[in-house]
C-alpha cells in the first residue's frame, strides 16, 4: 500500500496601481483687454481689413460676460457654425485587485517551482480511502522557502505528517532545490522523504523535474491565459506499482499539465508514474491566499484497485 501525499504551497503577489489625473486651468485677465483691442485696430489699419470684418473682430474680443471676463468664443462669420462646447464625462478606469494566491499547477507531482525566502505554507490532504482498503487517510504538510531562485538557487524545506490522528508519530522531511530560467522555464531537483521517522509507508523518492509556462494571453483575467507543462523522472513513489511490489529499483516518468481556465481556476491532469490523476485547483477568495484542490486519482486502473477521491487545501503566508 502506497499512500498519496498532497503538497500545497502557493506564492502570492499583490499589485497596486495608482492613476493620477492632472487638471490644468488657464485664466484670462481683464487688464489685457485694452492691449489686445489696440493691437487689433492697428492690424486692421495696416492690413486694410474690411470695415465689417474689423467690426466683427472687435465685437468678438470686447464681448464680455457679467463678471467682466472676456469671451473665449468669437462671433461666427456668415456661413460658419457657432461653436458649442460639449461636456465630456470624466471616466476613471476601475482597477481590480489581483488574487493573493495562484492556483496550483500540479496535484501529487512536484513541479519546477518552489517557495523562496519570505514564503511559507501549510496544507492538509485527505483521501476517501487508501489503496486496497476502505480506510480514509490524511496528511499534513508544512513548508517554507529560502534563497532567491531568480538570482541563484531557491531552497524549499517541508515536513509531512502522515497520520493526522497522531501527527508527530510518523513523518518525513522533504527537500527541493529549484531555479528559474529564461523563457519561462523552471527546474528543480529534490528528495521526498530525505529523512523519515515512524511508519511513513512511502520511503524516499529522489526526482528531477522541469516546468514550462506557456503564455496564451498577457492578461491573466482572460480565459485560457496560461498553460503549465511539467515533466520529470524519479525513483521511489514515482516507479510503477509492480516495480515497487517486486522491489525493483527502477526510475519512473511523471508529468503534469495545467490549463488556466479562468484566473482563479486551473484544470490539471497528470501521470504520477503509476496512474492518471485529474482535478482542479481553485482559489475561492480574491483576498485570502487559500487554495482548494479536489481530484480523482488512479483513474485508469493501472495502479491500485480503482479510482479514489482526494482533496487538498493549502494556505500560503508571505512575510
Residue 62 belongs to domain with CATH number: 2.40.160.40
Lowest mean per-residue pLDDT among 12-16, 87-91, 106-110, 288-292: 12-16
* Residue 58 lies inside a defined structural domain of this protein: yes
- Provide the pLDDT for residue 17: 30
- SS3 annotation, 10-47: CCCCCCCCCCCCCCCCCCCCHHHHHHHHHHHHHHHHHH
DSSP string, 88-157: ----PPP-PPPPSS---S-SSS--S----BTEEEEEEEEES--TTS---EEEEEEEEEEE-TTTS-EEEE
d(CA 214, CA 113): 14
Q: What is the pLDDT averaged over residues 60-72?
A: 49
Confidence of residue 26 (pLDDT cuts 50, 70, 90): very low
d(CA 6, CA 309): 12
Confidence of residue 15 (pLDDT cuts 50, 70, 90): very low
- Provide the pLDDT for residue 150: 95
* Residue 24 lies inside a defined structural domain of this protein: no
Chain segment 143-191, per-residue pLDDT in tens: 999 999 999 999 999 999 988 878 888 999 999 999 999 999 999 999 9
* Residue 21 lies inside a defined structural domain of this protein: no
- Provide the pLDDT for residue 218: 92
Chain segment 231-253, per-residue pLDDT in tens: 999 999 999 999 999 999 999 99
Degrees (nearest 5) of the Cα angle 264, 270, 271? 170
- 302's torsion region: left (phi>0), alpha (psi -120 to 50) or beta? alpha
Q: The pTM is what?
A: 0.71
CA distances from 240 to 12, 234, 252, 263, 306 (A): 35, 11, 7, 35, 16
* Residue 23 lies inside a defined structural domain of this protein: no
Q: What is the residue range of 307's domain?
A: 1-10+31-319
Q: Is the Cβ–Cβ distance between 170 and 197 less than 8 Å? A: yes
Residue 159: CB atoms within 10 Å: 16
DSSP string, 232-271: EEESGGGS-HHHHHTT----EEEEEEEEEEETTEEEEEEE
Average pLDDT, the chain: 80
Q: What is the pLDDT averaged over residues 102-107?
A: 96
Chain segment 125-148, per-residue pLDDT in tens: 999 998 998 888 899 999 999 999
Q: How many domains does the chain have?
A: 1
* Residue 25 lies inside a defined structural domain of this protein: no
How many residues are given for the chain? 319
d(CA 97, CA 278): 30
CA distances from 232 to 160, 166, 174, 276 (A): 21, 33, 17, 15
* Residue 116 lies inside a defined structural domain of this protein: yes
Confidence of residue 212 (pLDDT cuts 50, 70, 90): very high
Residue 252: CB atoms within 10 Å: 22
Confidence of residue 84 (pLDDT cuts 50, 70, 90): confident
* Residue 19 lies inside a defined structural domain of this protein: no
d(CA 57, CA 62): 9
* Residue 18 lies inside a defined structural domain of this protein: no
Lowest mean per-residue pLDDT among 39-43, 231-235, 270-274: 39-43
Backbone angles phi, psi at 213, to 5 degrees: -100, 125
Amino acid at each position: 500500500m502506497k499512500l498519496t501525499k498532497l503538497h500545497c504551497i502557493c506564492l502570492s503577489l499583490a499589485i497596486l496601481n495608482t492613476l493620477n489625473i492632472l487638471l490644468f486651468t488657464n485664466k484670462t485677465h481683464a487688464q489685457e483687454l485694452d492691449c489686445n483691442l489696440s493691437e487689433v485696430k492697428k492690424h486692421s489699419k495696416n492690413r486694410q481689413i474690411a470695415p465689417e470684418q474689423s467690426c466683427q473682430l472687435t465685437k468678438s474680443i470686447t464681448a464680455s460676460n457679467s463678471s467682466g471676463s472676456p469671451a473665449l468664443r468669437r462671433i461666427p462669420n456668415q456661413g460658419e457654425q457657432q461653436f458649442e462646447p460639449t461636456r465630456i464625462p470624466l471616466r476613471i478606469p476601475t482597477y481590480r485587485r489581483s488574487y493573493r494566491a495562484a492556483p496550483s499547477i500540479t496535484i501529487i507531482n512536484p513541479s519546477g517551482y518552489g517557495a523562496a525566502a519570505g514564503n511559507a505554507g501549510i496544507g492538509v490532504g485527505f483521501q476517501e480511502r487508501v489503496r486496497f482498503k476502505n480506510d480514509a487517510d490524511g496528511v499534513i504538510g508544512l513548508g517554507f522557502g529560502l534563497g532567491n531562485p531568480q538570482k541563484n538557487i531557491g531552497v524549499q524545506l517541508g515536513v509531512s505528517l502522515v497520520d493526522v490522528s497522531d501527527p508527530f508519530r510518523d513523518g518525513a522531511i522533504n527537500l527541493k532545490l529549484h531555479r528559474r530560467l529564461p523563457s519561462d522555464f523552471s527546474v528543480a531537483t529534490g528528495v521526498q522523504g530525505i529523512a523519515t521517522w515512524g511508519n511513513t509507508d512511502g520511503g524516499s523518492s529522489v526526482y528531477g523535474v522541469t516546468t514550462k509556462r506557456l503564455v496564451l494571453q498577457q492578461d491573466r483575467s482572460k480565459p485560457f491565459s496560461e498553460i503549465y507543462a511539467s515533466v520529470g523522472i524519479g525513483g521511489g513513489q514515482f516507479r510503477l506499482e509492480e516495480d515497487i511490489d517486486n522491489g525493483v529499483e527502477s526510475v519512473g516518468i511523471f508529468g503534469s499539465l495545467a490549463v488556466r481556465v479562468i484566473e482563479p481556476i486551473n484544470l490539471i491532469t497528470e501521470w504520477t508514474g503509476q496512474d492518471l490523476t485529474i482535478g482542479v485547483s481553485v482559489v475561492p477568495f480574491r483576498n485570502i491566499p487559500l487554495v482548494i484542490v479536489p481530484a480523482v486519482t488512479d483513474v485508469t486502473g493501472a495502479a491500485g484497485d480503482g479510482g479514489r477521491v482526494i482533496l487538498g487545501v493549502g494556505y500560503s503566508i508571505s512575510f
